Amino acid sequence: MFRNQYDTDVTTWSPTGRLFQVEYAMEAVKQGSAAIGLRSRSHVVLACVNKAQSELSSHQRKIFKVDDHIGVAIAGLTADGRVLSRYMRSECINHFFTYESPLPVGRLVVRLADKAQVCTQRSWKRPYGVGLLVGGLDESGAHLYYNCPSGNYFEYQAFAIGSRSQAAKTYLERRFESFMDSSREDLIKDALLAIRETLQGESFKSSICTVSVLGKGEPFHFVEQETLQKMIDSFEKVEEEAEPGEGESADAGAGPGAEEHGSGGQDVAPMEM
């Protein structure tokens, strides 16, 4: 988008009823590295792509622990994501200190949305340029929410945000009906496969992704890289074994025709490259 007279502050509306500062913040989310979340009845899995600025630098963290029962994955400005995750931790601590019980996920998401929405109605502030996938577990079950820079929030069965997230959404849309009954391992596998869709041909290794999981009797934690690599190797091996079988059937169908064609022609010398 180009600069114009209506994007100098967040309270200036354009003649078409648009807030350009909010749209710029939402564009920052689209440009960030991909983040994916999916849930079953008892577990929530968050995954993200580790994108480094250069080969000489390390990647920035995109998944944060809020509490034992809540985690968050971000896409967009990492600095804004750290500020909001720190705010969420503070809310969880204050609630537990006051009521001696974990903060329900839905209530935390509403507070987070209110905090983001205030930044869209004060001329001296700017919207947070980050989208958050909030996954958690409370008495009502597992939940996955998406918080938008505009202050809107939505609950999803599975969702993806960030760069090249449309490919991951397409994969999740094909599979989401089976997620409610999926096991912990199946959810992690689907998260890895969705992450692979966002890479678009790049080599897929455990070092370029981070996966976290939480569930009943399982507090929020990160899955070890060795475990992820074993899962990646397992389903890639299955795909490699399936491909030769398809090739053999194609060769078997083309065999007789090839023999008849070869019997009546002359030998052709290979071309020099």
* Model confidence pLDDT, tens digit, residues 84-93: 999 999 999 9
In this prediction, residue 237 carries a pLDDT of: 83
Residue 259 pLDDT grade (very low, low, confident, very high; cuts 50, 70, 90): very low
263 or 191: which leads in pLDDT: 191
**Dist CA 131 CA 150 (whole Å):** 10
Between 49-58, 87-96, 223-232, the lowest mean confidence (pLDDT) is in 49-58
Q: Which two tokens stand for residue 164?
A: 């090249």
Residue 245 pLDDT grade (very low, low, confident, very high; cuts 50, 70, 90): low
Burial class (CB in 10 A: 0-12, 13-18, 19+), 47: buried
In the predicted model, is pLDDT for residue 133 greater than 70? yes
CA distances from 40 to 13, 20, 43, 175 (A): 41, 37, 5, 12
pTM recorded for the entire structure: 0.85
Q: How far from each other are the two terminal CA atoms of the chain, in whole angstroms?
A: 48
CATH architecture of the region 41-228? 4-Layer Sandwich (3.60)
Write out the DSSP string of 101-139: SPPPHHHHHHHHHHHHHHTTS-TT-----EEEEEEEEET
Domain extent listing, the chain:
41-228
Report which of 53, 81, 58 is spatially closest to residue 147, judged by C-alpha positions: 81
Reported as type and span, the H/E element at residue 243 is helix 225-263
In this prediction, residue 270 carries a pLDDT of: 43
**Dist CA 266 CA 268 (whole Å):** 6
In this prediction, residue 250 carries a pLDDT of: 44
In this prediction, residue 58 carries a pLDDT of: 85
Contacts of 68 (CB under 8 A, 6+ apart): 102, 214, 219, 220
Burial class (CB in 10 A: 0-12, 13-18, 19+), 249: exposed
In this prediction, residue 179 carries a pLDDT of: 94
In the predicted model, is pLDDT for residue 249 greater than 90? no
In this prediction, residue 200 carries a pLDDT of: 78
Query: What average pLDDT does this structure show over 26-43?
Result: 95
What whole-number percentage of the chain has pLDDT above 70? 88
In this prediction, residue 269 carries a pLDDT of: 43
Query: What average pLDDT does this structure show over 176-204?
Result: 92
In the predicted model, is pLDDT for residue 244 greater than 90? no
Contacts of 46 (CB under 8 A, 6+ apart): 35, 36, 37, 63, 71, 72, 73, 133, 135, 191, 211, 212, 213
